[in-house]
């Protein structure tokens, strides 16, 4: 994982493998499609329960998230909603319930296999106002000012240059639009063996940045009204830790002050134009 391109290619390969499996197979494997280890799955150890959300479709839930951003996204009837890293379409279908047939939902995903799976799920349900576009969320296939709401669930950790994504979110949002994003952040430093493990990176842990850095990045991009809507501690099971660190290293890690958290963050794009433009 020396370069941005290598990281992106690794992520693409891992999530292509997951897309081509069914959910039961994902849940029964420890570290993805090619692993021979057993125990809990590193990809879905952080997932939240969608069962109580209207519009939820189990077929589209691959258990890859770390929060429920659509629950907090304040989506209104008729909104245009963009989901970053849309996977098999899970959050898109919940968002569609919220924005109604008058609205539009656009899912963007890096992986062709995920796009195919999501389109099949939408077609099966006759969802004509949900579309999926393959693309890099660091350079979204969208025009500026198109979205009322942006959501994302445990995806920015997979992106090497997170500042580019927040800049793109700001670009595609309408003035006064907002986002609700669930992601993984850290307090303190992960052990190097965890940070450098490709499987943990694809599981959204090793790609995490510090909590304060994450929130400051949002502020520096130009967003306002930044709010942490939900926060929970993430615990890495012993069955997973043992594949990356020794027993002594695992004990030291668990006894340290290092914390792994899932946070759901809300922020708005200012409704005013740039200072001096005369539109405010």
CATH number for the domain spanning 148: value is 3.40.50.150
Q: Is residue 278 part of a domain?
A: no
Q: Is residue 151 part of a domain?
A: yes
Q: Is residue 207 part of a domain?
A: yes
Q: Is residue 206 part of a domain?
A: yes
Q: Is residue 19 part of a domain?
A: yes
Q: What is the pLDDT of residues 67-93, one digit of tens each?
A: 999 999 999 999 999 999 999 999 999
Q: Is residue 274 part of a domain?
A: no
- The answer to whether 91 touches 73, Cβ cutoff 8 Å, is no
Q: Which residue numbers in the chain have pLDDT < 70?
A: 1-2, 7-46, 196-204, 273-280
Question: For position 39, what pLDDT does the model report?
Answer: 38
Cα separation, 254 vs 47, whole angstroms: 21
Cα separation, 100 vs 97, whole angstroms: 5
What's the number of domains the chain is made of?
Answer: 1
Q: By residue range, what is the domain housing residue 128?
A: 4-268
Q: Is residue 34 part of a domain?
A: yes
Strands 147-153 and 130-134 come out as unpaired
Q: Is residue 128 part of a domain?
A: yes
Question: For position 202, what pLDDT does the model report?
Answer: 61
Question: For position 115, what pLDDT does the model report?
Answer: 94
Burial of 274 (0-12, 13-18, 19+ CB in 10 A): exposed
pTM of the predicted model over 0.85: no
Question: For position 226, what pLDDT does the model report?
Answer: 98
């Amino acid at each position: 994982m020396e370069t941005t391109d290598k990281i992106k290619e690794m992520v693409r390969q891992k999530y292509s493998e997951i897309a081509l499996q069914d959910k039961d197979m994902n849940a029964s494997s420890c570290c993805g499609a090619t692993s021979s280890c057993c125990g809990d799955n590193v990809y879905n150890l952080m997932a939240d329960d969608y069962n109580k959300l209207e519009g939820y479709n189990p077929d589209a839930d691959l258990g890859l998230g770390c929060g429920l951003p659509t629950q907090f996204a304040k989506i209104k009837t008729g909104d245009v909603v963009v989901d970053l890293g849309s996977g098999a379409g899970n959050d898109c279908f919940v968002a569609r319930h919220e924005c109604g047939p008058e609205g539009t939902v656009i899912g963007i995903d890096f992986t062709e296999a995920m796009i195919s799976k999501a389109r099949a799920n939408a077609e099966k349900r006759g969802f004509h106002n949900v579309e999926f576009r393959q693309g890099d969320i660091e350079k979204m296939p969208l025009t500026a000012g198109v979205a009322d709401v942006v959501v994302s669930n445990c995806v920015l950790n997979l992106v090497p240059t997170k500042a580019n994504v927040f800049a793109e979110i700001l670009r595609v949002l309408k003035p006064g639009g907002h986002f609700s994003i669930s992601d993984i952040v850290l307090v303190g430093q992960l052990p190097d063996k965890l940070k450098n493990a490709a499987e943990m990176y694809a599981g959204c842990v090793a790609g995490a940045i510090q909590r304060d850095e994450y929130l400051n990045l949002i502020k520096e991009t130009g967003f306002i009204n930044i709010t942490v809507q939900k926060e929970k501690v993430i615990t890495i099971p012993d069955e997973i830790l043992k594949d990356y660190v020794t027993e002594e290293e695992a004990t030291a890690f668990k006894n340290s002050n290092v914390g792994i958290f899932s946070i759901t963050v809300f922020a708005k794009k200012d409704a005013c134009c740039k200072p001096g433009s005369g539109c405010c």
